[in-house]
Structure 1
Amino acid sequence: MLDTLRHVTTPELIELQLRPAGLLPRGLAWCIDFVIRAALLIALGTFLSNLGRAGSGLWLLGYFLIDWFYPVFFEVWRGGATPGKKTLGLIVVHDNGTPVGWSASLARNLLRTADLLPFAYGCGIVSMLLHREFRRIGDIVAGTLVVYREKPVLRAHPAHEAVLTPHMPLDRATQRALLAFAERAPALTPARQEELAALLPHLARAPSGPQGAARLLGLANHVAGRQA
């Protein structure tokens, strides 16, 4: 299944694009966390092995805490990601893009009981495959999403070599669009740049001078106040 985008506005009026993670990366993250939990339980069992029945009781208590609260601890206190999710570049957030809190994290993890039915996360897998944002039952009830942690993008400045003066006044929205295009351009292929430029034919085409993406970059230089 193809990834989709969820557009949200945070309470601070910040617009975000969240990219929900699909079944495969989430399954790989779960496997990594399973290995870590198993190693913790083996180490705990080895440490308590000489305490007899008391050690067995403490191990069972440790098993309960690790199995159920391992993900809650990392999601709330470690930036929304268990070690497995962090390795795969994933993070748990509320569906409005805000960091996950105690109540939502507890709900989504306690409801793993429902996702596990009838066996091997059967209900959870079916729910993720049917939901357009790949949510399991726990995510739906808790109002959470597992999304890719987007890497910070260094804002690039438009190239210095061309400054073009527009033939008409540019409104604020158009100026923002030009600057956004110039910031993204270094990370785009030339073909993709031209595809985006074609969406603004009234700006990208002129009787003379550069055409297409090169013209948009020149106009962005003008908007940014650069000198020829």
Structure 2
Amino acid sequence: MMQAGPGSTAHAEEDVLTGEAVALDVKPASYVLRAAGTIIDFIVYVLVMIGCLLLVTYTGAGLDDAQSRILLIVIPVFGMVVLPTTVELATRGRSLGKLAVGARIVRDDGGAIGFRHSLIRALVGVIEIFLTFGGIAALTGLLNSRSKRLGDLLAGTYSQLVRVPTPQPLTLYLAPHLTGWAQTADVARLPDRLSRRIAQFVRQAPGLTPAARAGLSTELAREAAAYVSPLPPVDAETFLVAVAILRRERDARGLALERGRLERLEPVLDALPHGFPER
């Protein structure tokens, strides 16, 4: 996800913004996953309606014509509106199809959906999913950067991917001839945003083409050189790996010191006021 420069308030169109205008690094479900989840939900709800109709047919022999017509209206309303709304509201945006693809319906700001969002999605879904067999939803999703269907656009929601792969730990080794340099090098002024870009490059470098790898490492090394002192006489990628190692060790030491301070304060924070009886 592209990030704005320092002091900029611009955000990409696909960024998820909270009420405080903070961009969240979350990933919307892809078009294919949304389509698969919708098909699963469509089949489930249709089977429920068919099951209700069969149940009424075999057990409701005593119903007159008026009662039968009422049931023919109530059952579709239940299967297309009441049931989807109830399921999404009770599961906080999940359904059988969304569980299968690892997605969840959330608000545009990343919060949990409410009754209004679920009801709007269900009402619009009658037309765009059930009556058109998903044709309108498929067309709208193709034209939207987050694969939103029409109900999502009206309700202010989207499908967020919650099943993401666990990142694998990255093992880095400092070049032996940089051991002395690492003992005196200062990387404290390195901006957090640039540090994350360097760490991302180091992780993805083996999968890049040689030309892209050399160009990106040179660009990042030129940006980082202004914040690192002294500069070691090495190539750009070796320099970036060394900076990433030093920055990681610095952050680890900071977290360890913070954890130690909290452990020392824990008896004071958890203790009762002086003379107050234990109950």
TM-score in terms of structure 2 length = 0.61
Whether 2:153 is the aligned partner of 1:151: answer: no
| Deviating 4+ runs (over 6 angstroms) | none
Alignment of 1:177 with 2:194, yes or no, is yes
Partner of 1:224: 248
Q: Is 2:202–2:240's contact at 8 Å kept on the other side of the alignment?
A: no
- What does residue 197 of structure 1 align with? 217
Pairing 1:1-228 to 2, within 5 Å after superposition: 6-11=14-19, 15-48=23-56, 49-54=58-63, 61-115=74-128, 119-151=132-164, 153-154=166-167, 156=169, 159=172, 161=174, 165=182, 170-171=188-189, 173=191, 175=192, 177-178=194-195, 181-182=198-199, 185-186=202-203, 188=204, 190-192=206-208, 194=213, 197-202=217-222, 203=224, 208-209=233-234, 211-212=236-237, 214-225=238-249
Partners of 1:101 and 1:67 lie apart in 2 by 18
Of structures 1 and 2, the larger Rg is shown by: 2
Q: 2:85 touches 2:122 (CA, 8 Å); kept in 1?
A: yes
Count of matched residue positions in the alignment of Structure 1 and Structure 2: 221
Q: How well do the aligned residues superpose, as a CA RMSD in angstroms?
A: 4.0
Task: Return the offset for 1:46.
Answer: 4.9
Go from structure 1 to structure 2 and tell me whether the alpha carbon gap of 1:15 and 1:29 turns closer, same or farther (over 3 Å shift): same
Amino acid at match of 1:50: T
Q: Which amino acid aligns with 1:71?
A: P
Q: Give the structure with the higher percent helix.
A: 2
Identity across the alignment (%): 22
Aligned residue identity for 1:171: R
In 2, Cα distance between the equivalents of 1:147 and 1:137?
16
Deviation at 1:33, TM superposition (A): 1.3
Q: Secondary structure at the match of 2:106?
A: strand
Displacement after TM superposition at 1:109 (Å): 1.8
Does the CA-based 8 Å contact 2:17-2:108 persist in structure 1? no
Q: Deviations over 1:45-104 (max 9, x none)?
A: 455422325596668634422321333233222241221122122221111122222111
Q: Distance in 2 between matches of 1:196 and 1:100?
A: 41
Contact 1:158 1:221 in 2 (8 A): no
Preserved contact between residue 30 and residue 84 of structure 1 (Cα < 8 Å): yes
Deviation, structure 1 residue 116: 5.4
Are the aligned partners of 2:221 and 2:240 in contact in 1 as well (CA < 8 Å)?
Answer: no
Pick which of 158-167 and 38-47 moved more.
158-167
SS of equivalent residue, structure 1 residue 98: coil
Distance in 1 separating the partners of 2:139 and 2:194: 40
> Structure 1-normalised TM-score?
0.71
